């Protein structure tokens, strides 16, 4: 990677400096790049569905700087500098390791921007995130073209020398009153000019602007030449709403989520005269939750694993109306039992008093799930799942509720292996 490719860790600071450089998970930016990035701290260029603003202003010791919130992904400044926001997976940061972990997790996301095969083949941890995403899109466009552009019948009006389709009497009288050899007709032809193709073409136009790698630029030019018969979208949001699926568009299934991602979050072509900082950012809590859910579904055969399930409510008011709804991250049903689990993207450590590692709010939340969201038996389990780190390598001893058999398990999730670690530390 070049010296212009910068990165910052979750919760790292970004401050104005004289040059742009990364510093152990923090970032210093030259004045012009810092000012361009400041728009994101004010909500500019963010998606409301992303779960907040990725950068926030912080003042400390009389200095004002930006702090990276719990978002991960990539930001591209106006002058082309890429800044990666990487997850903090350990106390000490290694950009390549964090990037590899992030891509592995994003593969499992519901709106997965990366595919397993491509990410592995391209050695994702060695590539810039933006380049990886653009390459993924280009590869998927190539798949679409190999399958053939979906076509649809469109109506065409033309002044012809022979009748074709339907004669438009009024237009023909107006245009050909003095020329009986011409006929103004309306007919239908198969054309690739349909919303789904216009969206792909428009996203490809964006990629041609953003691509920096030689291979990506060359591939974008080749694909663009093969899409010359498709006009760019005049209003991509309208085309997205009018797009429909049929048996001729099934091979577009993998390219369209990437297409929407590029057009919604990365399109500098729609920002002329405005700040052209573009970003593709994901809230880390959601990425972690979806990764855990995906892996549980894959490896826990026979269990029903659901995400974001309504699990009752905490109290009722004086009129008997439910209040304070309970919605745990994960509900697992198997063999007639139910487990409620919550994922927490926090780095915790083991101390001589393990409970000191768990926030009181998290413990109260799990108590509520145990009491209100589970069956009335006295043999229930609720799980708190945190990322596994060198400071949290094994499960804590179970915590009991009310001197009963109801238990709270605090479990590490191994990000490399994609599985929960149930074993506890052996007593010395």
pLDDT values of the chain reduced to their tens digit, one per residue, 428 residues = 444 568 888 888 888 878 777 777 788 888 878 877 776 666 544 444 444 567 778 877 778 888 877 888 888 777 777 888 888 876 666 777 788 788 778 777 665 555 555 544 445 556 677 777 888 889 889 999 999 999 888 888 889 888 888 888 898 988 998 888 898 999 888 889 889 999 999 999 989 888 877 888 999 999 999 998 899 999 999 999 998 888 888 999 888 888 888 887 776 544 444 456 677 788 888 889 989 988 888 888 788 888 876 655 554 555 555 445 567 778 888 887 888 888 989 888 765 555 667 788 878 877 877 776 565 666 678 889 999 988 888 888 888 776 667 788 889 999 888 888 888 765 54
Q: How many domains does the chain have?
A: 3
Tell whether 106 and 126 lie within a shared domain.
Answer: yes
Range of the domain at 103: 5-148+195-271+279-283
99 and 132 housed in the same domain: yes
Q: In angstroms, how far apart are the furthest CA atoms of the chain? A: 105
Q: CA 194 to CA 189: how far, in whole Å?
A: 12
Residues 158 and 259 in one domain: no
Distance between CA atoms of residues 268 and 209, nearest Å: 8
Do residues 181 and 266 both lie within one domain?
no
Same domain, 98 and 201: yes
> Do 144 and 161 lie in a common domain?
no
Name beta bridge partners: 307. Answer: 330
Same domain, 243 and 334: no
Which tokens hold the place of 317?
């008011």
Q: Are residues 248 and 134 in the same domain?
A: yes
370: in domain: yes
291 in any annotated domain: no
In the prediction, which pLDDT does 4 show? 55
- Same domain, yes or no, for 43 and 130? yes
pLDDT of residue 2: 44
| DSSP H/E element including 337 | strand 337-343
Q: Same domain for 170 and 233?
A: no
Contact 77, 33 (CB under 8 A): yes
d(CA 47, CA 143): 29
Whether 318 maps to a domain, the answer reads yes
Has this prediction a pTM greater than 0.85? no
Asked if residue 402 and residue 308 are part of one domain, the reply reads: yes
The pair phi, psi for residue 201, each rounded to 5°, is: -60, -40
Residues 306 and 354 in one domain: yes
76 in any annotated domain? yes
């Amino acid at each position: 990677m070049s010296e212009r490719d910068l990165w910052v860790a979750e919760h790292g600071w970004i401050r104005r400096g004289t040059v742009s450089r990364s510093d152990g998970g923090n970032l210093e930016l030259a004045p012009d790049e810092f000012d361009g990035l400041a728009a994101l701290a004010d909500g500019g260029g963010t998606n409301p569905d992303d779960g907040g603003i990725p950068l926030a202003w912080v003042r400390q010791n009389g200095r004002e700087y930006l702090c990276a919130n719990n978002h991960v992904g990539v930001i591209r400044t106006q002058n082309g500098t890429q800044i990666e926001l990487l997850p903090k997976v350990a106390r000490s940061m290694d950009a390549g390791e964090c990037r590899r972990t992030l891509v592995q997790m994003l593969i499992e996301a519901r709106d997965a921007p990366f595919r397993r095969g491509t990410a592995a083949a391209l050695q994702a941890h060695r590539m810039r995130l933006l380049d990886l995403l653009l390459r993924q899109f280009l590869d998927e466009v190539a798949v679409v073209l190999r399958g053939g552009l979906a076509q649809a019948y469109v109506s065409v009006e033309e002044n012809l020398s022979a009748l074709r389709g339907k004669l438009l009497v009024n237009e023909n009288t107006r245009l050909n009153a003095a020329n009986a050899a011409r006929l103004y007709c309306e007919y239908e032809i198969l054309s690739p000019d349909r919303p789904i193709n216009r969206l792909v073409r428009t996203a490809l136009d964006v990629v041609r602007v953003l691509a920096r790698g030689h291979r990506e630029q060359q591939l974008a030019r080749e694909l663009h030449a093969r899409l010359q018969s498709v006009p760019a979208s005049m209003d991509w949001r309208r085309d997205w709403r009018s797009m429909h699926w049929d048996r001729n568009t099934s091979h577009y299934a993998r390219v369209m989520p990437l297409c929407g991602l590029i057009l919604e979050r990365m399109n500098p072509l729609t920002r002329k005269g405005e700040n052209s900082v573009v970003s593709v950012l994901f809230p880390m809590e959601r990425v972690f939750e979806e990764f855990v859910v995906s892996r549980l579904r894959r490896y826990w055969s026979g269990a029903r694993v659901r995400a974001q399930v309504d699990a009752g409510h905490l109290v009722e008011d004086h009129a008997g109306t439910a209040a304070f709804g309970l919605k745990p991250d994960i509900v697992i049903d198997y063999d007639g039992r139910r487990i409620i689990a919550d994922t927490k993207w926090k780095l915790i450590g083991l101390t001589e008093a393990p409970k000191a590692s768990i926030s009181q709010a998290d413990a109260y939340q799990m108590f509520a799930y145990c009491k209100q969201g589970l069956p009335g038996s006295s043999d229930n389990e609720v799980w708190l799942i945190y990322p596994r780190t060198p400071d949290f390598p094994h499960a804590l001893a179970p915590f009991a509720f009310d001197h009963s058999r109801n238990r709270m398990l605090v479990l590490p999730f191994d990000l490399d292996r994609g599985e929960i670690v149930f074993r506890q530390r052996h007593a010395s």
